[in-house]
Amino acid sequence: MTFNVNSAIGYIWEVLGLVWLVGLAFTKRTVRSQNYGTRAFHLVLALFGFALVGSQYFRQGWLGMRFLPDTPTCAVTGLALTLIGCLFAIWARLTLGANWSGRATVKAGHELIVSGPYALARHPIYTGLLLAAAGTALARGEWRCILGIVLIALAFAIKIGQEEELMLQTFPHAYPQYRQRVKALIPGVF
C-alpha cells in the first residue's frame, strides 16, 4: 500500500470540518452581526475559492495546468503546510470557544480573546486556513489552486473588515490597543 498525499490532505481538511461542525453546538447566542448581503458575498467567494483548491471539478483547461513540477518534495511540503495550517486554525477555533461564529458577530457576553494564537495574530483562524490552502496548492501544483487562494484571501479581507468594525464598537478601548500590538494575519508583518 502506497501513501497518497492527496488523500492525506483530504483527511486533514475533513478533520478540520468535523471540529467546526461539533463546535457549532457550543457557541453563545448572537447579539449583533454583519448584514446578510455582505455575509453571502464573502461566503460565496470563500466557498468557490476552497472548491478551486480542494475539488477535482476545476481541472480543465488552464486551471488544471501545473505551475510546479509534480515532485515528492512539493507534495510532502504541501502536506506538512496543510497539516500545520489546519492545526493552527483548530487551535484558534478552540481558543475562541463559545465566542466563535461563522459570520462576523458579537455574542452575548462576548470576550476579547488575546491569548494563545490570538497573541500572534488577530485573525489566526484565517492565518491557519490560508496556510493550509497554500499547502494544498503546493501539493497539487495547479493554477486553479492559486486562483482559489486569491478568492479565499479576498473573502477573508471582507470578513476581517466586518469583524474589526464590530470589535472596535464592542471593545472601544481594548481593541485599538490590541490592534497596535498584534498584526492581523502574519505575526509581526501584516
What confidence tens digit (pLDDT) does each residue in 23-61 have? 989 999 999 888 888 889 999 999 999 999 998 888 888
Q: Which amino acid appears at position 48 of this protein?
A: F
Looking at residue 1, what is its pLDDT?
Answer: 46
Would you say 153 and 159 are in contact if contact means Cβ atoms under 8 Å apart?
A: no
Residue % of the chain over a pLDDT of 70: 99
Looking at residue 2, what is its pLDDT?
Answer: 57
Would you say 142 and 59 are in contact if contact means Cβ atoms under 8 Å apart?
A: yes
Rounded to 5 degrees, what are φ and ψ at 79?
Answer: -60, -45
Q: pLDDT confidence of 110, banded at 50, 70, 90?
A: very high
The three grid cell numbers given for residue 135, joined into one nine-digit string: 499547502
Rounded to 5 degrees, what are φ and ψ at 99?
Answer: -80, -10
Q: Report the C-alpha gap between 50 and 66 in whole angstroms.
A: 18
Q: Top-level CATH class of 30-181? A: mainly alpha
Looking at residue 58, what is its pLDDT?
Answer: 85
Q: In angstroms, how far is CA 62 from the centroid of its own chain?
A: 26
